[in-house]
């Protein structure tokens, strides 16, 4: 291995990926653990699938098309294309199709872990992030959707969001599909419908004016990139926008049809139309949620919710965090019904519905808002290594501390006392354990309380005499056999 200047490798990672150390690490795992416990409690079984799948098994349903391989990390292996999973739903569909004969039906499963998107990286926009999903496969009943919505509430609360700080918004693709039918964008105009869908999904972020442009000729963003629009005419655009921007509310089931009529008075719902089916399903879902007591602000109807993923076929859900005064901190999860995903494999329609918590996004928002639990700073006690020939003894002291549950480590560098104390400071150590030649001769050790020492130094300022005295206060010499008890006592005070 050559270390010459010319052959040096850059110490860098790809953009859109992050390192996390210490307390910042495993934030996602803690959320998955807490949410997973709730999913389990509701009868969902955990499923783990591989990070890599055949590209064709995952399908292409992502809203972002600004990358060459359509938002997915893909590569060729033995003449077949493999991709990193971009969500946990597509692998579930593959699994359910593969194992359908042996599964209990309907099949409830949950999953949690990282997913990867090959999107344009940007501030706060990562290409590796965690999700935690619950899905019911094999039930077409609106009861399955209602259960998923109720479970979404329980899951968001388990992730540490207080009731009142979130709302799960519900709508249905069928309402939008029905309206598109009525304004003259038939189901056969599939790619045009997709552009409409993705435009509406940006309503929250871009506002009505930009979305109007995206429904029409298109729009140039700040970076100068032009996004093609859906090329609809004003007479088509306005009812769609009016429908999508109808204000959120918590309707009783019998109010749902009325709401649709209010926001689209010129486009009546025909009996047995797709919009009619959507209205009836929503009414059933809200009926059940009312029975279960979830219409107390936790769940609302919101016609602006469409979700960007192509595979949804009916009800769609989105969990948003809200602050005091109703400030909206954005989406932290979503889901919906996707009745055609398993049929890609089997040819037979298998109804399915589910919800996904954006674990990384939720963790980031919680941290930004200061909602996160303060993780106890569990910094280690540092045993100094003043005599290189006595490392074994220092290891022994550290092990005694660990044996009673105290995190402890021995300094392993070759530096002197001052540098070792600096290391302990950097480790945020509460206490250092010192046994130099003097202590060894007396059979003692010195314990230094770095927290108390720093506090006293700060309180006393320039008073040298008091400072000298404070050093005594923050420092104790105890017999070697009493180290553990003394450290326990100092940590407790």
Annotated binding residues: 87-89, 117, 131, 135, 307, 311-312
- Rule CB under 8 A: say whether 138 interacts with its own copies: yes
Task: Give the C-alpha separation, 29 to 36, whole Å.
Answer: 10
Structure tokens at 63: 């809203």
CB of 56 to its own copies, least distance (A): 5
Residue that is written with structure tokens 């009493």 in the block: 482
Task: Give the C-alpha separation, 249 to 305, whole Å.
Answer: 13
Q: What is the DSSP string of 152-200?
A: HHHHHHHTTPPTTSEEEEEEEHHHHHHHHHHTT--TT-HHHHHHHHHHH
Nearer to its own copies, 327 or 412 (CB): 412
Question: Across-strand partners of 445?
Answer: 478
Q: Which of 114, 216, 218, 436 binds its own copies (CB under 8 A)?
A: 114
Task: Give the C-alpha separation, 100 to 468, whole Å.
Answer: 75
Structure tokens at 489: 């006592």
Judged by CB under 8 A, which stretch of 240-248, 299-307, 396-404, 457-465 contacts its own copies?
A: 396-404
- Rule CB under 8 A: say whether 393 interacts with its own copies: yes
- Rule CB under 8 A: say whether 8 interacts with its own copies: yes
CB of 323 to its own copies, least distance (A): 28
- Rule CB under 8 A: say whether 408 interacts with its own copies: yes
For the segment 139-198, give every residue that binds its own copies (CB under 8 A): 139, 141, 143-144, 146-147, 150
Structure tokens at 399: 């092990």
CB of 474 to its own copies, least distance (A): 21
- Rule CB under 8 A: say whether 135 interacts with its own copies: no
CB of 389 to its own copies, least distance (A): 10
Structure tokens at 101: 């004969």
x/- mask, its own copies, residues 12-31, rule CB under 8 A, reads xxx--xxxxxx--xx--x--
Residue 361 near residue 132 (C-beta atoms within 8 A): no
Q: Which of 194, 391, 440, 460 binds its own copies (CB under 8 A)?
A: 391
CB of 382 to its own copies, least distance (A): 8
- Rule CB under 8 A: say whether 50 interacts with its own copies: yes
For the segment 230-249, give every residue that binds its own copies (CB under 8 A): none
List of residues 6+ apart from 484 with CB closer than 8 A: 400, 401, 403, 404, 406
- Rule CB under 8 A: say whether 340 interacts with its own copies: yes
Q: Which of 31, 109, 276, 453 binds its own copies (CB under 8 A)?
A: 109
Q: In 159-301, which ranges are continuous DSSP H helix?
A: 173-182, 190-200, 203-206, 208-215, 234-244, 256-263, 274-291
- Rule CB under 8 A: say whether 358 interacts with its own copies: no
- Rule CB under 8 A: say whether 264 interacts with its own copies: no
- Rule CB under 8 A: say whether 292 interacts with its own copies: yes
Nearer to its own copies, 259 or 381 (CB): 381
CB of 62 to its own copies, least distance (A): 14
For the segment 426-465, give every residue that binds its own copies (CB under 8 A): 426-427
Nearer to its own copies, 160 or 396 (CB): 396
């Amino acid at each position: 291995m050559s270390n010459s200047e010319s052959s040096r490798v850059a110490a860098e990672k790809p953009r859109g990926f992050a390192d996390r150390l210490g307390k910042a690490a495993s934030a996602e795992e803690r959320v998955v653990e807490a949410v997973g416990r709730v999913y389990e409690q509701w009868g969902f079984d955990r499923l783990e699938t591989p990070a890599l799948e055949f590209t064709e098994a995952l399908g292409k349903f992502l809203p972002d098309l600004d990358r060459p391989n359509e938002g997915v990390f893909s590569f060729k292996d033995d003449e077949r294309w493999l991709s990193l999973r971009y969500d946990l739903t597509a692998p579930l569909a593959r699994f359910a199709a593969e194992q359908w004969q042996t599964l209990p039906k309907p099949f409830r499963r949950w999953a949690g872990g990282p997913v990867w998107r090959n999107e344009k990286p940007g501030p706060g926009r990562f290409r590796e992030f965690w999700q935690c999903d619950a899905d019911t496969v094999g039930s077409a009943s609106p009861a399955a959707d209602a259960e998923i919505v109720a479970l979404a509430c329980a899951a968001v609360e388990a992730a540490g969001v207080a009731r009142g700080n979130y709302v799960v918004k519900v709508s249905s693709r069928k309402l939008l599909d029905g309206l598109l039918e009525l304004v003259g964008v038939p189901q056969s105009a599939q790619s045009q419908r997709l552009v409409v869908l993705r435009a509406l999904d940006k309503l929250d972020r871009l506002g009505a004016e930009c979305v109007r442009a995206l429904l029409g000729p298109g729009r140039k963003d700040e970076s100068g990139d032009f996004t093609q629009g859906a090329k609809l005419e004003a007479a088509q655009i306005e009812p769609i926008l009016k429908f999508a921007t109808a204000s959120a509310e918590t309707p009783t089931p019998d109010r749902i049809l009325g709401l649709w009529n209010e926001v689209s008075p010129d486009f009546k719902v025909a009996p047995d139309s797709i919009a009619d089916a959507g209205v009836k399903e929503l009414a059933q879902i809200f009926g059940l949620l009312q029975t279960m007591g979830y219409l107390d602000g936790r769940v609302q109807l919101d016609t602006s919710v469409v979700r960007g993923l192509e595979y949804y076929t009916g009800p769609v859900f989105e969990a948003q965090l809200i602050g005091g005064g109703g400030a909206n901190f954005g989406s932290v999860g979503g889901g919906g019904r996707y009745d055609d995903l398993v049929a890609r494999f089997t040819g037979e329609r298998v109804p399915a519905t589910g919800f996904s918590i954006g674990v990384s996004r939720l963790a980031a928002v919680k941290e930004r808002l200061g909602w996160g639990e303060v993780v106890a700073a569990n910094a280690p006690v540092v045993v100094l290594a003043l005599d290189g020939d006595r490392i074994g003894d220092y290891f022994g002291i550290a092990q005694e501390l660990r044996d009673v549950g105290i995190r402890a480590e021995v300094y392993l560098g070759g530096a002197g006392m001052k540098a070792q104390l600096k290391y302990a400071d950097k480790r945020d150590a509460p206490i250092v354990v010192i046994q130099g030649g003097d202590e060894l001769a007396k059979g003692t050790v010195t314990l230094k309380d770095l927290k108390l020492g720093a506090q006293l130094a700060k309180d006393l300022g320039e008073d040298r005499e008091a400072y000298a005295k404070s050093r005594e206060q923050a420092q104790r010499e105890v017999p070697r056999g009493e180290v553990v008890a003394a450290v326990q006592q100092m940590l407790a005070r």
